[in-house]
Amino acid sequence: MNPLLFLILIPVLTVAGIALVKDLKQVRVISAVGMGAQLLFSFYLVYLFYSLRNAGNTDAMLLVSTSTWYEAFNIQYKFGIDGISLSMIVLTSLVTFAGVFASWQVDFLTKEFFISLIILASGVFGFFISLDLFTMFLFYEVAVIPMYLLIGIWGSGPKEYSAMKLTLMLMAGSALLLVGLLGIYFNSSPEGGRLTFDLTEIAKVSIPRDAQLFFFPFTFIGFGVLGALFPFHTWSPDGHASAPTAVSMLHAGVLMKLGGYGAFRVAMYLLPEGAHAMAWIFIILTTISVVYGAFGAIWQKDLKYINAYSSVSHCGLVLFALLMMNETATTGAILQMISHGLMTALFFALIGMIYGRTHTRMIDEMGGLMKVIPFLSVVYVIAGLASLGLPGLSGFVAEMTIFVGSFQNSDTFHRIATIVACSSIVITAVYILRVVGILLLGPIKNEHYNELKDAKWFEKVSTITLVISITAIGMAPFWLSALIREPLGDIIQHLIARL
C-alpha cells in the first residue's frame, strides 16, 4: 500500500474515532492524538523521501501509485510527491496540529467542530498529493465546503453573511477553475488518442497555443481567488473576521496555499505559453496586491482585518514570485507559502487567544497587554517580527529569495515591479509596529485587564509549535530550500522550454 494514503487514512480514522466517543475531553484527546500522528507521519515521509533519493531514485515524483476511479473519462486516483508537495504536507500537518490545540476550548457542538475541521484538513492533504486534475479538484472542494459550516455555525459577528460570501466567492473561483481544468482535459491529447487528467502525462504533450491562451486565465484566476489575488480577495477580511480561531488558522495558513500551489502546478506548469503571454497582467495585479494589502492593513482597527489584509499582501508576493518564472523566485514563492502559513496561523491563534480574554479585537480598546499576558505578547511580537521580515525568522528567508530571484529578470518592467514589491518591507513594518505599539505596549488601558491570565498549557503547545518552526526555517533555511529547489530545475526548464 502506498504510504501516502496514510495521509488520508489517519484523518479519516480520527474522524471515525471522534464520532464514536461522547465525552468532550475524549474528543479533544482523539483529535490531538490523530493530528499528532499525522505530524509525525509527515516527518517520516520526509525521511522516506530522502532515503529513496539516497537509494538512487531520481524520478521527479516519488511514491507514485495509480488506480482507476472512473474508466470512461480516464479519471484516476494518482498520488505522488516531490519536494514541493512534501514541504506543503509538513506545513499542513504543523498548522493542523497547532489548530487542534488552539481550539481546545470550543464547547459548542465540539464533536461536530472537530469533525469538520479534520475533514477540511484531509481535503488539503489529498489535494497536495494528487497528480490527477480531477481528484485534485475533488479534494479542493472537500476542503472548501466544511469551511461554510465552520464559519456559519461556530463563527462570530455577521457569520452567516461572511460564510456565504466566502463560500460563494470561492465557488465562483471553482467554477472558473472547472472550466480551465476541462479545457486542459479536452486538449490533453492533441494528436488524438485518450484524453487524460493525469498531470504528469499532460505535461508531456503540448497543448495548442490558442487553447492555452484561452484557458490559462480561467485556471490561474480560479486558483488565484483562493490565493487572494487582487481584486478577488474581499472574501478574506470578512471570512477571517467571522471564522473561529482554528478555521482562520487553517484557512489562511493552509487553504490559501492551495491557490498558489495550484496556480503553479496546474495553471503555469500545464499551460506555459499562456503563462508567458499573460504573465504581465498578473504581475501587475499581484504587485498591486502586495502594496495594496499592506496599505489597507495600516488603516484597520480589528486585529483579524489587519491580519487578513496582511495576508493579501504576503500571498500576493507568492503569486508575484511564481510569475517571475525562475528557479530562485519560485523557491522563494514556496518558502513564502510555508513562512506565511506558519506565521499567519500563529497570528490567528494569538488573536483568538487574546479575544478569548479581552472579548474584543479592536486594537484601540486594548493596550499594555505585555504587562499582563507576557507570554502571549512576546509570541505576538515574534510573529510580528517574522511578518516584517526579521532575519533569523522565516519571513526574511522567503522574501529575500523572492527579491533576489525577481531581480534576475533584467527588463525594466520586472525591475519596477520588483522594486515596488520590495517597498512592502517598509509598509509592513509600519502596520506591524503600529499594532504592537497600541496593543501590547504602553500603559494598560482597561483596569479589568490586570486580572487576565497568561497562556494555558494547550495554548503554549499550539504557539510554541509554530514559533519553533518559524525560527528553525529562519535560522537554517538551507535544507528546506534545497528540498524545494530539487524538482524546480526541471519544472522551470519545462516552463521556459517552449518560448
Partner 1 sequence: MDYAYTLIILLLPLVTFLGLGLLSKRLPVALAGIIGTANLFIIAALSCATAFTYFTQEAGEAGFEAIEAYKITWLPLTDKLIIHLGILLDPLSVMMLVVITLVSAMVHLYSIGYMKGEKGYTRYFAFLSLFTFSMLGLVVATNIFQMYIFWELVGVSSYLLIGFYYQKPSAVAASKKAFIVTRFADLGFLVGILILSFNTGTFEFQTLTSLQGPVIGQASTAAFMGLSVTTWALLLIFMGGAGKSAMFPLHIWLPDAMEGPTPVSALIHAATMVVAGVYLVARLFPAYALSAPDALTVIMYVGSFTSLFAAVIACTQLDIKRVLAFSTLSQIGYMMVALGVSGYGGEAGLGYMASLFHLFTHAFFKALLFLGAGSVIHAVHSNLMTEMGGLRKSMPVTHLTFLVACLTIAGIPPLSGFFSKDEILVAAFEHNKLIFAVQWLVAGITAFYMFRLYFRIFWNQTPAYHHAPHESPVVMTVPLMFLAIASVVAGFVPFHDLVTSDNKPFETAFHWSIAGPSIAIAVIGILTAAWLYARPSLRPDAISKSLSGVYTAAYNKFYIDEIYLFITKSIIFQFISRPVAWFDRHIVDGTMNFIGNSTVAGSAAIKRMQSGHVQLYIWYFASGVLVLALLILYLN
Cβ 326 to partner 1 shortest distance, Å: 8
What's the DSSP call for residue 230? Answer: T
Task: Give the interface segment with partner 1, choosing from 21-29, 100-108, 201-209, 433-441 (CB under 8 A).
Answer: 433-441
Binding mask 78-117 for partner 1 (x = CB under 8 A): ----------------------------------------
Distances (CA, A) of 450 to 34, 379, 420: 37, 19, 43
425 binds partner 1 (CB under 8 A): yes
Write down how long the chain is: 499
Unique residue bearing C-alpha cell 530545475: 489
Peptide bond into 231 cis (omega under 30): yes
Cell of 339: 513562512
Cell of 47: 525521511
Distances (CA, A) of 27 to 49, 107, 251, 388, 474: 32, 11, 22, 37, 35
Binding residue (CB under 8 A) for partner 1 from 168, 175, 416, 468: 168
In the complex with partner 1, which residue's Cβ is closer, 30 or 337? Answer: 337
Binding mask 379-408 for partner 1 (x = CB under 8 A): ------x--xxxxx---xx--xx-xxx-xx
Give the SS3 label for residue 453. Answer: coil
Amino acid occupying residue 151: I
Task: Give the interface segment with partner 1, choosing from 50-58, 125-133, 189-197, 440-448 (CB under 8 A).
Answer: 440-448
Exposed e or buried b per residue across 348-367, where buried means at least 16 C-beta atoms within 10 angstroms of its C-beta: bbbbbbbeebbeebebeebb
430 binds partner 1 (CB under 8 A): yes
464 binds partner 1 (CB under 8 A): no
Give the SS3 label for residue 377. Answer: helix
Q: At a CB cut-off of 8 Å and minimum separation 6, what does 94 contact?
A: 39, 342, 465, 466, 469
Phi, psi of 178 (to 5 degrees): -60, -40
486 binds partner 1 (CB under 8 A): no
Cβ 478 to partner 1 shortest distance, Å: 6
Task: Give the interface segment with partner 1, choosing from 137-145, 163-171, 180-188, 343-351 (CB under 8 A).
Answer: 163-171
208 binds partner 1 (CB under 8 A): no
Q: Which residues contact partner 1 (rule: CB under 8 A)?
A: 165, 168-169, 230-231, 233-235, 237-238, 292, 295-296, 298-300, 309, 327-328, 368, 370-371, 385, 388-392, 396-397, 400-401, 403-405, 407-408, 410, 418-419, 422-423, 425-426, 429-430, 433-434, 437, 440-444, 477-478, 481
